Amino acid sequence: MLLEVEDLCVNYGHIEAIRHISFSVEEGQVVSLIGANGAGKTTTLKTISGLRTVREGRVVFEGRDITKVPAYERVALRLSQAPEGRGVFVGMSVRENLDMGAYVRTDRKTSAYREDLERVFSLFPRLAEREKQVAGTMSGGEQQMLAIGRALMARPRLLLLDEPSMGLAPKLIQQIFAIIKEINEQGTTVLVVEQNAAQALKLADRAHILETGEIVRSGTGAELAGDEAVKAAYLGGDV
């Protein structure tokens, strides 16, 4: 098992943001976490990344308990996140942003590094066209591509994506999810948090629904997409 989240509890002050959630991610899978705003999805990803303190439970990555491992060390272990809101370095160029994604690597002058850069440019040709452009002048969709590309430059075994479709036009949302599928097919395991439940379930091998900090339903993406209660609550009655 690549990732195991076991009986995880996380607080914001006295408020329980996550209550005793458990799930796993197998190597090669796409796993989706869906739910309404405030359900605990982003908190879950931040906790896996090391940006939130665990009150109870643990996070295990490649068989190692990383619950107390600092966030920067988790990146070195090849666990990388593209955050909600993109978080690009707005004053830096596209290329500089991508280089920042690889800050833990020691092989920047090797062919392997260039190959990874070319992989990102192949997935996102727009970034190749704008390699020298300042990130803050790019559109929201282009910044989302850059955020994912930057995360890929760390060569993650597990890529965490937080709301990759947020604020994007429908056509661009389809494009982003097609690229996420391609990233997975190239060998990167993906854990994605997403409010667009239809797209998230269509992509997912496994999916979990969070409500008020708890997992209330789990299954394959197809199973949940075909569930009448899920359709009514999250899919507008249809997929």
Residue 86's pLDDT is what?
84
Indicate yes or no: pTM above 0.85. Answer: yes
Which pairs from 214-221 meet CB under 8 Å and 24+ separation?
Answer: 214/18, 214/19, 214/20, 214/21, 214/40, 215/21, 215/22, 215/23, 218/23, 221/32
Residue 143's pLDDT is what?
95
Provide the strand spans (E) within the chain: 3-12, 15-25, 30-34, 56-61, 64-65, 79-82, 158-162, 189-193, 206-211, 214-220
State the pairing for strand pair 189-193/30-34: parallel
Spell out the residues 6+ positions from residue 66 whose beta carbon is closer than 8 angstroms to its own: 50, 59, 60, 74, 77, 79
Residue 29 sits at φ, ψ, to 5 deg, of -85, 165
Q: What residue ranges do the domains of the chain occupy?
A: 88-155
Bridge partners (DSSP) listed for residue 79? 158
Residue 24's pLDDT is what?
98
pLDDT tens-digit profile, the chain (239 residues):
999 999 999 999 999 999 999 999 999 999 999 999 899 999 999 999 999 999 999 999 999 999 999 999 999 999 999 998 889 999 999 999 999 999 988 887 789 999 999 999 999 999 999 999 999 999 999 999 999 999 999 999 999 999 999 989 998 999 999 999 999 999 999 999 998 999 999 999 999 999 999 999 999 999 999 999 999 998 875 44
